[in-house]
Amino acid sequence: MKVLITGANRGIGHALYTLLAARGDDVFGTSREGAGFLPLDVADPASHHALAREIAGTPLDLLICNAGQYLDRGQALESGYDPQMWADMFAVNVTGVFLTVQALLANLKLAAMPKVAIISSQMASSERAPGGSYIYRASKAAALNLGRNLAQDLKPAGIAVGIYHPGWVRTDMGGAGASISVAQSAEGLVQRFDALNLDTTGCFETYDGQVHPF
């Protein structure tokens, strides 16, 4: 299976890259800095065009949209959440997902049973809304909505789309007090990706296979 993972240089993305490569998949990873991976700044359309040219004609069985930012942790409602922070995080967490799918759609269409996996978060849920982290929550909710709509539009082309909460993971983003390791998250997510098909397209699931409230 040929796989491309955005943001593969660290955290969950790197764990997915390592796990999928170890089981024998042909894995492309991207990072903004390059540094041994394909260079991709998901907020930059020109960078997407360059990536599409780099792998033109290569079938992609699985595209994992993992790259993301969480910049508004601890911001105060009264004085924080600068407008530029909104723009920057939406450019990566939402527009970046769309541009990635758009740029690599031709590669997906070359595969027999192509899939797109979007890493969102439980913080995307409208039913579970405890407050705070407004930009991150809103951007992940938008990514969830994007994935749900892509699932409908891509189904006639035979492309399944799943949206996933990776768990509260001990990464730079999740913090040292998080509940699971990156290995646990990656192992569960890979099982979810393997199970994804056109019958389950548009799903919002946790890394351990639970249906997540929207």
What is the distance between the alpha carbons of residues 34 and 40, in angstroms, rounded to a whole number?
7
Ranges of residues in the chain whose predicted pLDDT is under 50: none
Q: What is the pLDDT of residue 117?
A: 98
Buried b / exposed e over 136-162, threshold 16 CB at 10 Å, is: bbbbbbbbbbbbbebbeebeeeebbbb
Q: What is the pLDDT of residue 180?
A: 76
Q: What is the pLDDT of residue 170?
A: 59
Q: Indicate the domain borders of the chain.
A: 2-206
Q: What is the pLDDT of residue 193?
A: 98
As a 3-state breakdown, the chain gives helix, strand, coil percent values, each rounded to 5, of: 40, 15, 40
Counting every residue written for the chain, the total comes to 214
The top-level CATH class assigned to 2-206 is alpha beta
Closest by Cα among 106, 90, 111, 127 to 204: 127
